[in-house]
Amino acid sequence: MIQLFFLVPILMSAIWYWYLSSNNYTIKQGLKGFGYIFAFNATIIAFFILMLFITH
């Protein structure tokens, strides 16, 4: 399961891109959303790495 975690930011970015394009926004207007997506996923990755080191 953990091997597929790299798909989460790709999937979230694709959904965000679809939302932007369906509502006639540009990528530049939605850049902040991409930043939030990557920050959220970096936080999740950091949490799992921390848990891996704590429990290993």
Residue with tokens 């509502």: 23
pLDDT(2) > 80: no
Cα separation of 34 and 36, whole Å? Answer: 5
End-to-end CA distance of the chain: 18
pLDDT(37) > 80: yes
pLDDT-based confidence at 3, cuts 50/70/90? confident
Q: What pTM does this model have?
A: 0.81
Average pLDDT, the chain: 92
pLDDT(54) > 90: yes
| 8 Å CB contact between 20 and 29 | yes
Reported as a single tens digit per residue, the pLDDT across 11-35 is: 999 999 999 999 999 999 999 999 9
